[in-house]
Structure 1
Amino acid sequence: MLSYAIGDIHGQLEMLETAHALIEADRAAHGSAGPEALKAPIIHVGDLVDRGPDSAGVIDYLMTGQERGEPWIVLRGNHDRMFLGFLKDPTSQDPLLNPNLTWLNSRLGGEATLQSYGIADASSRPLEEIRKELGAVPQAHRDWLASQPAWHSRGEALFVHAGIRPGVALEDQVEDDLLWIREPFLSDPRDHGVLVVHGHTKIDHATHYGNRLNLDSGAGYFQPLTAVAIEGRSAWHLTPDGRVPLTPTRS
């Protein structure tokens, strides 16, 4: 069963369009594998917004693609949840965010997201002033982002933003973990029953650890955005020269 997946996007619309082009090239190259290759979905593992220059464009691109029937699955990441929380109440704080930070802190990149909607210099102005300008974010974008799932299961792969709580059944996983977890997930060597495909924790390049596959190659820091093809528990990095196998290694 073939699936495609794309790592954390973080407002990088041009990189996202390039990743989709690589996937379309792979569809064409492997079309002889049967109709499944033409219908394989693209799963985006979340963090659509923050840091990059065009979060609004990313949301519009993905939302419009789904509306015209593209087989695209879009998961919510922790940055997407923080954005939604800010839109509801700019004074709110995600319970899992470091209490010394706010979404507008430069480390998180919320200011760049608001800038993409035409709301300038948000981190240097009073929150009540910013609150009055939040109408620039279309209700359609808010509703669409809030409606996206936190996980997607397909074949031998489970797609989530951050990871899972090891040893906990999928039906008992909580959103806080699916969107925010690092440890004990990252260092857990056990077989989770599926290949967990995730982002959230930035690494230099997509890496297959045997029981999990991390796709966050740092697009939020203007490093490459990764697209992969997945069949069973095997994965290939998609490049302009075609598929490159991602050989499992240990954490």
Structure 2
Amino acid sequence: MTDRIYAVGDIHGYASELDRALGLIEADGGPDARVIFLGDYTDRGPDSRGVLDRLIDGLAAGRNWVCLMGNHDRMFLRFLTEGAEHDGNIKSGLSWMNRRLGGPSTLASYGLPQGEGGAFLMAQNGGLETLSSYDLGGDELSLQELVMRARETVPEGHREFLATRPILHREGELVFVHAGIRPGVPLDAQEEDDLLWIRDGWLEDTRDHGVLVVHGHTALDTPTHYGNRVNLDGGAGYGRPLVPVCFEGRESAILTEAGRVRLVP
């Protein structure tokens, strides 16, 4: 019998959707099911802290899980460790503290809610949006003060979890990664920025990669099979359901409350 592997795409702070997806997986594969999470646990949704708590607790309990890193997870980590609000892969130059990227909702889940909003400056050096002040419960904090408050508030276990996530996982004919791979580059030579951010040169590529690549990062209306890859980001970060997928070899099926629905190219 082919081993089953379940995969879950971008969660983006929706702990209730994670709970629902895990319920579907357990109903289909039991409590010891092998689950690969594709990253982007944080930002945009209301409970990034709750998502990380569930994943950390599951791993500590010995659940058969692999939790990969996503680009939003790395941005959150770099904010905490380096005070960084930018990533060079964001072409718009937006700050992680812009609501569109989701930093404020992540900090709010740790008890640091945004009040009247953040004030931003647009610098001339590349047009980067830079946080100049942040209203936290009536206190106007600078970026540096906000970073220090976040460091005091976010549990060390959460920072350690974010810092130790793998960026690629292979099992048999399947490769799991957050964003995708650089076509034509061996798996062991892939660059981290590509694995976490790639779209150009990847999404339109139709060649056989030698493995079926399972990824997220680029939001769709529902998980979609493209023949050489499967995109599991069904847009949970924009309020759509989180849809787990079961893989048996290269065969795949969406899990729903009504049962499996085969996923085909």
Distance across 2 between alignment mates of 1:240 and 1:91: 41
Equivalent position amino acid for 2:6 in 1: Y
Q: Distance in 2 between matches of 1:200 and 1:99?
A: 17
The alpha-carbon deviation at position 96 of structure 1 amounts to: 1.3
Aligned to 2:39: 46
**Residue 232 of structure 2 corresponds to which residue in structure 1?**
215
The letter for the 2-side match of 1:147 is: T
Q: CA separation in 2, counterparts of 1:247 and 1:239?
A: 16
- Which residue number in structure 2 is paired with residue 78 of structure 1? 71
Larger helix fraction of residues: 1
- Aligned residue number for residue 87 of structure 2: 94
User: Larger radius of gyration, structure 1 or 2?
Assistant: 2
More strand by share: 2
Contact persistence 1:162–1:200 (CA under 8 A): yes
What's 1:8 paired with? 10
| Unaligned ranges ≥5, structure 2 | 119-133, 135-141
Aligned AA for 1:6? V
Partner of 1:225: 242
Q: Distance in 1 between matches of 2:71 and 2:29?
A: 30
Q: How does 1:121-160 map to 2 (within 5 A)?
A: 121=114, 124=118, 125=134, 126-134=142-150, 135-160=152-177
In structure 2, the residue matched to 1:22 is 24
Tell me how far apart the structure 1 counterparts of residues 46 and 181 of structure 2 sit (CA, whole Å): 30
Output the TM-score relative to the length of structure 1.
Answer: 0.92
* 1:186 is aligned to 2:203: yes
- Aligned-pair distance for 1:91? 4.1
Structure 1 pair 92–112 and aligned structure 2 pair: CA distance change class (3 A): closer
Q: Number of aligned residue pairs: give it.
A: 239
RMSD between aligned alpha carbons? 1.3
Contact 1:91 1:127 (C-alpha < 8 Å) held by counterparts: no
* Cα distance between partner residues in 1 of 2:71 and 2:253: 26
CA-to-aligned-CA distance 1:136-185 (integer Å, 9 cap, x gap): 00111001111010011112110000000001000000100000000211
Q: Is the 8 A contact 1:10 1:51 kept in 2?
A: yes
**Kept after mapping to 1: 8 A contact 2:216/2:233:** yes
Stretch deviating more after TM superposition (158-167 or 224-233): 224-233
Counterpart CA distance in 2 for 1:190 and 1:234 is 19
Q: Counterpart of 2:28 in structure 1: which amino acid?
A: D
Do the aligned residues in 1 keep the contact of 2:4 with 2:247 (CA within 8 Å)?
yes
Q: What is the one-letter code of the residue matched to 1:2? A: R
Q: CA deviation at 1:40?
A: 4.1
**Contact 1:85-1:94 within 8 A present in 2 as well:** no
Distance 1:228 1:91, change over 3 A: closer
Q: CA deviation at 1:196?
A: 0.3
**What is the distance in 1 between the residues matched to 2:5 and 2:55?**
17
Distance 2:186 2:85 in 1: 31
Cα distance between partner residues in 2 of 1:183 and 1:80: 21
Gaps of 5+ in 1: 29-37
Paired amino acid for 2:96: W
Q: Could you tell me how far apart the structure 2 residues matched to 1:220 and 1:116 are? A: 15
Is 1:169 the counterpart of 2:186 in the alignment? Answer: yes
What secondary structure does 2:42 align onto?
coil
Q: CA deviation at 1:92?
A: 4.5
Cα offset, 1:99, TM superposition: 5.3
